[in-house]
Chain A
Amino acid sequence: MTLYDKIVEMLEDKFGVSSDEVTPESTFEDLDLDSLDLVEFSMALEDELGVGISDDEAAELKTVGGVATLLKEKGASV
């Protein structure tokens, strides 16, 4: 499983997002996720991958693929 696949799986578990509607280019807006959802998602990432997203980083993030790239840069692995 890639980091991206793990993120999609978590979006499905935590937010009820259907995996077939997610692409690396999907924005959080496309998936009906708001800034509070991102905070919650970051908590889940910390729990499951040991690496979270800071508020400043979240403000720059636009897409699901972007999350995977950022987490990889921060040393996360599945």
Chain B
Amino acid sequence: MPVSEAGGNAHDTITITGLGLVTPGGVGVEKSWQSVLRGEGTATTDPALEGLDVTMSCRVPDFDGSELLGRRARKLDRFVQLALVAAGEAIQDAGLDHNTWDGARVGVVMGCGMGGAPTWEQQHSVLLERGPNRVSPHLIPRMIPNMAAGHVAIDFDAHGPNLCTATACASGATAIGTAMDLLRLRRCDIVLAGGTESGVTPLSIAGFDNMTALSERTDDPGRASRPFDVDRDGFVAAEAAGVLVLERASDADARGARRYGTLAGYGASADGHHVTAPDPQGAGGELAVRAALADAGLSPEEVDHVNAHGTSTPLNDVSEARMIARVFPHGPAVTSTKGVTGHALGGAGAIEAAFGVLSIHHGVIPPTANMESQDPDIDIDVVAKSPREGSVEVVISDSFGFGGQNAVLAITAN
């Protein structure tokens, strides 16, 4: 079924050949994956939030931008630094070399919900304290959210389509779905797709807290993010970046690449309900899940595992669970890796897609950290306490953003 004059084909198989992760579990895929398998919350008291009601976050440990990226790191906001490190790992993992690839055929789609919030705040203080003539000339290039994708293009000679998707907490998943379309339409041969965020600042945390979105369990940070648990009281803000290398399977096979799995379907929808509260029955999320299944040619009962959005907010988890129970009455294994990582906002959808890929690759589903007593209003099979081993063939990864923007990915074994 050709869908473009360039000969694009909606039925091209899109494969995942590389992964890069920088998460609160650590720098790199291996550390991040081992962290979610351990199933322990990563939130800690955050000195940057001193004096606020909520003083915890999930930071990437031991991430030194200048050590990893050299002295130019000082010109890059942290969300860009995280993205560059994740992209570098993903390219290497895919066995690709940016010095030799045809950069004109390499696209980049990087989701980001907030952009350079730390830079905004620092420079706003400079404006107030020292006047407009001392505002940094680097303010705008450090802050605009599309700069992660822009810097990936500069560092890795990626001269194809270059986009930033901004669908709040769904941005990373929207980016991967958009990348899939670019490959099907043959606008690119390779896409570096993912998401990044490092927006944990006093201003943003105060804002999230005052909308009652955050956990206030600040006396016990490691147990604060507890998706689907009866005592959950909100999310813990995190920073993270994840990048997937996507290619048409025919191209990946031609170069003998290792294929982790297939990006089989993408579904997007809007709740059209409320700016921040999800539709109580998860109707918008259901539209996106069903669209992703249809795109992949899958029936609901073929799904083994759902990597849930599972933010640990009272509203999200119950509405999402209702939706999952309705669409998947056969009861697939559900996990929310946010129990470990916290909620990385625009980075979340990308790191969770990568965790879904790794569940297929390794045949193991990470547990939902801190899910000690399941909410009686939540009637789904939540993987808790320890990883669940066994073949995983079909994964659904949910991402839902403020604004009611939903993006769902269907990922299958090769």
Contacts and interface: CB of A to CB of B under 8 A. Distances in A.
Main secondary structure of the interface of B (DSSP, over half): helix
A17 B138 contact: no
B133 interface: yes
A16 B141 contact: no
Interface string B136-157: 1110010000000000000000
B300 to A, nearest CB: 52
A32 B133 contact: no
Contacts of B133: 43
Interface string B264-295: 00000000000000000000000000000000
Interface in A6-40: 15-17, 32, 36-37, 39-40
Nearest to B72: A32
Contacts of B74: 15-16
B68 to A, nearest CB: 14
Nearest to B141: A36
Nearest to A38: B137
Contacts of B136: 40
B258 interface: no
A17 B136 CA distance: 19
Contacts of A32: 71-72
B66 interface: yes
Interface residues on A, range: 10 to 19
Given A15-B71, A16-B71, A17-B71, A36 B66 contact: no
Interface in B5-41: none
B141 to A, nearest CB: 7
A37 B142 CA distance: 13
Interface string B69-86: 001101100000000000
Given A32-B71, A32-B72, A43-B133, A16 B66 contact: yes
A37 B138 CA distance: 8
Interface in B60-104: 66, 71-72, 74-75
A47 B126 CA distance: 14
Nearest to B136: A40
A16 B72 CA distance: 8
Contacts of A40: 136-138
B326 interface: no
Contacts of A15: 71, 74
Given A40-B137, A40-B138, 11 more contacts: A15-B71, A15-B74, A16-B66, A16-B71, A32-B71, A32-B72, A36-B138, A36-B141, A37-B75, A37-B137, A40-B136
Interface of A: 15-17, 32, 36-37, 39-40, 43, 47
Interface of B: 66, 71-72, 74-75, 133-134, 136-138, 141
